[in-house]
Amino acid sequence: MRFDYWTVSVVPRPMGITTIGVGVIVIDPATGQLKYMFRTDQGIRHDSEFPDAIRPALRNFKADLNKLTTTTEPLNLKGQHTLSSYLEFVSRHWHNLIQVRAMQSMDAANIEEAVDLLFSTLIGETPTRKHQYDVRQVRGLIRREYEQHPRLLEATTFETNVQVSRRELDLNLAVVHEGQVIELNQAFNFRSSDSKGTRSAIDSWTLKVEKLQSDGGELFIEEASLWVPRNPDVVAVTAPPISPAQKKNFRLFQDFCSDLNITLLHPEDIPQHAAWLDSRLAS
């Protein structure tokens, strides 16, 4: 099923350019059903300099959403907002304490799964009513964003690998255009309870990337192969860690990525990154 969604952020410091993701809003366009999830007061209080202003602002915003909620989306008559048009309006015009990003779309089995997946991967908190999300769901989010761009989708091969000195460098995807490797992409899960296993995985993967950068490698696409020259563009997508042990591994991985010039992205960066890649293919 296809769902429309918006992400909600707040500005934690007056006059600052930094924003904090605080919630997701999901609408079933076929029925008008609304589901949303926001961070806890405790999480917002920890990250913001003025949580006492944010809390009532978010409460009023959610009240506005509930007022516009109906069983089905009404017609937009005499300038009255539907729920979707209201969210599109605030995404274009609100640039103060609360900010709403423009609408995106995704596929999920149901609206509850959509909300949980988006909240976990984009906001960085685990919904209390569900399990933690694994790397497969992060990969699914990447796939959906890349598939929204036909030109990029045509150039993308999912679930492939590069042979590096008789070792396999596993990849979530590779983007190849006119015989040139544009991007090698992998997704990582730092929310695992197995900290030692995570450390071993990132050590192994980054060592292979280092070998690829120095020696090159062979990319396999279906029945064909393509030589990957030294120093290709490598992208790693990670869901934010939660526990101290997870954060320790993540900081180590950040250092590796910096040393190896690997582009490190969070799931919320993927829509913009996919659009940029698509425009790069067109140039």
d(CA 245, CA 251): 10
What local confidence, expressed as pLDDT, does residue 132 receive?
A: 47
Q: Are 123 and 160 found together in one domain?
A: no
Q: Which of 32-41, 104-113, 142-151 has the lowest mean pLDDT?
A: 32-41
Q: Do residues 168 and 277 both lie within one domain?
A: yes
**Can you read off the two tokens belonging to residue 43?**
């999480």
Q: Are strands 217-221 and 180-189 parallel, antiparallel or unpaired?
A: unpaired
Percent of the chain whose pLDDT exceeds 90: 39
The predicted structure's pLDDT at residue 125: 58
pTM for the predicted model, two decimal places: 0.57
Q: Are residues 35 and 159 in the same domain?
A: no
Whole-angstrom distance, CA of residue 224 vs CA of residue 160: 12
Q: Of 116, 131, 146, which one is at a domain's C-terminal end? A: 131
Same domain, 233 and 277: yes
Please give the residue range of the domain that contains residue 211.
137-282
Q: Are residues 102 and 155 in the same domain?
A: no
State the DSSP H helix or E strand holding residue 218, giving kind and residue range, or none if neither: strand 217-221
Is 144 in the same domain as 196?
yes
Would you state the pLDDT for residue 152? 96
| Average pLDDT value for residue range 117-123 | 85
In which band, very low, low, confident or very high, does the pLDDT at 72 lie, cut at 50, 70 and 90? very low
d(CA 15, CA 11): 8
- Region 256-280: what's the mean pLDDT? 91
What is the distance between the alpha carbons of residues 148 and 102, in angstroms, rounded to a whole number? 15
Q: Examine the domain organization and report whether 148 and 207 are in the same domain.
A: yes
**169 shares a domain with 81:** no
Using DSSP's 3-state secondary structure scheme, residue 126 falls into coil
pLDDT in tens, 201-227: 999 999 999 999 999 999 988 878 899
Amino acid at 50: F
Residues 117 and 24 in one domain: yes
DSSP string, 63-103: HHHHHH--SSPPP--TTPPPHHHHHHHHHHH--SSEEEPPP
CATH number where 179 lies: 3.40.1350
Segment 22-50 shows an average pLDDT of 76
Same domain for 278 and 155:
yes
Question: What's the domain count of the chain?
Answer: 2
Mean pLDDT, rounded, for 246-250: 90
pLDDT score, position 54:
76
Boundary residue ending a domain (131, 152, 179): 131
* 270 and 141 in a common domain: yes
> Do residues 24 and 8 touch, judged by C-beta distance below 8 A?
yes
Q: Where is the domain boundary, 131, 152, 182?
A: 131
φ and ψ at residue 26, rounded to 5 degrees:
-125, 135
Whether residue 156 sits in one domain with residue 172: yes
